[in-house]
Amino acid sequence: MLDWWDGLSEVLRVLYCIAIPSTLILLLQLLLTMFGGHQDAGVEFSDTSGIDDLDLDFESDGAPDTDFVADGSNPADFATLKLLTLQTIVTFLAVFGWVSIICISSGLHYLVGILIGIQCGLCMMLLVAKMVQMSTKLVENGTLNLKNAIGETATVYLTIPAKNTGTGKITMQLQGRFCELDAVNAGTEIIPTGAQVLVTDVLSDVLVVEKC
C-alpha cells in the first residue's frame, strides 16, 4: 500500500485525497436517505448556510389548522435551481476526482485529465441540482396555500359567530382537496350551519368569510 502511494505523482495524490472523502460522504448521504436519517433529501440537508436560498420568500400566513401542512410559499420560489448545495458540491468533487484519476492514469497529460474531470463534475453537479429542484417542486405541490381560497365559496360546517367573536368551520374544495378549515365572520349576523359563504381574506391560519 505504501509502495503504491509512494509511486503516485503529487497530482494523483491530491486527486485521491479529493475523490475518496467526497465519495464516502456521498455514500453516507445515500445511507441516511435510505434508512430515514435524512428527511426531505435534497431540500434541508442540501442547503449550505442559506447561500443558495437568496431567492426564496417564505411567508408565515396561510397555514391552516388542519392535518394539511401549508406555509403560504410561492410555488415559483421552489423552482429556483440550486447549484451550491452540499449534494452538488460533494458530487462535483467525487466525479471530478475519479474522472481525472482515470484520465491521468490512462496516459493523458494531467492538465487534460483535470479539464475533463472538471467538465464531467460540472455536468453531474447540474444533474443533481436539477433532481433537487424537481424534488422541491414535488414537496411544494403537496402543500396547501390558504390564499388560493380567497374568492371561492364554501359551506359552513360549524356555526360561525358574528363580529369575530369566535371561529367556526367551513368545508370547501381547495387545490383539488376537500378541506375543513377554521373561519371567522366580521359581519353582524351569525352564519348558521349549511349556509354558503364567500372567502374574502386570510388572517394567519383562519379564513375570513361573508355570507353569500
110 and 197 assigned to the same domain? no
Low-confidence winner among 69-78, 100-109, 173-182, 191-200 (lowest mean pLDDT): 69-78
pLDDT bin (cut points 50, 70, 90) of residue 49 is very low
Mean pLDDT of the 35-64 span: 42
- Please report the pLDDT score of residue 141 as a whole number: 54
Q: How many domains does the chain have?
A: 2
Check whether residue 37 and residue 10 sit in a common domain: yes
Please report, as a single letter, which amino acid is at residue 96: F
pTM as predicted: 0.48
Calculate the alpha carbon distances from 117 to 122, 127, 128 in Å: 9, 15, 16
Pairwise pLDDT comparison (199 vs 212), residue with the higher score: 199
Question: What pLDDT does 24 receive?
Answer: 94
Residue 10 near residue 99, CB atoms below 8 Å: no
Kindly state whether residues 11 and 87 are assigned to the same domain. yes
Q: Are residues 42 and 114 in the same domain?
A: yes
Q: Cα–Cα distance between 87 and 96 in angstroms, integer?
A: 14
Q: Which of 123, 141, 159 is the endpoint of a domain?
A: 141
Q: Taking residues 4-10, report their average pLDDT.
A: 83
Verify that 107 and 129 share a domain, yes or no: yes
Mean pLDDT on 131-158: 78
Q: Which triple of cell numbers denotes residue 189? A: 349576523
CA-based Rg of the chain, rounded to a whole angstrom?
27
d(CA 99, CA 210): 65
| Whole-number pLDDT of residue 55 | 41
Work out the mean pLDDT of the chain and round it to a whole number: 77
Residue 30 pLDDT > 90, yes or no? Answer: no
45 and 16 within one domain: yes
The predicted structure's pLDDT at residue 169: 93
Is 101 or 45 the better-scoring residue by pLDDT?
Answer: 101
Q: Are 120 and 99 in contact (CB under 8 A)?
A: yes
What range does the domain containing 181 cover? Answer: 146-211
pLDDT at 78 > cutoff 70:
no
| CA atoms of 89 and 96, how far apart (whole Å) | 10
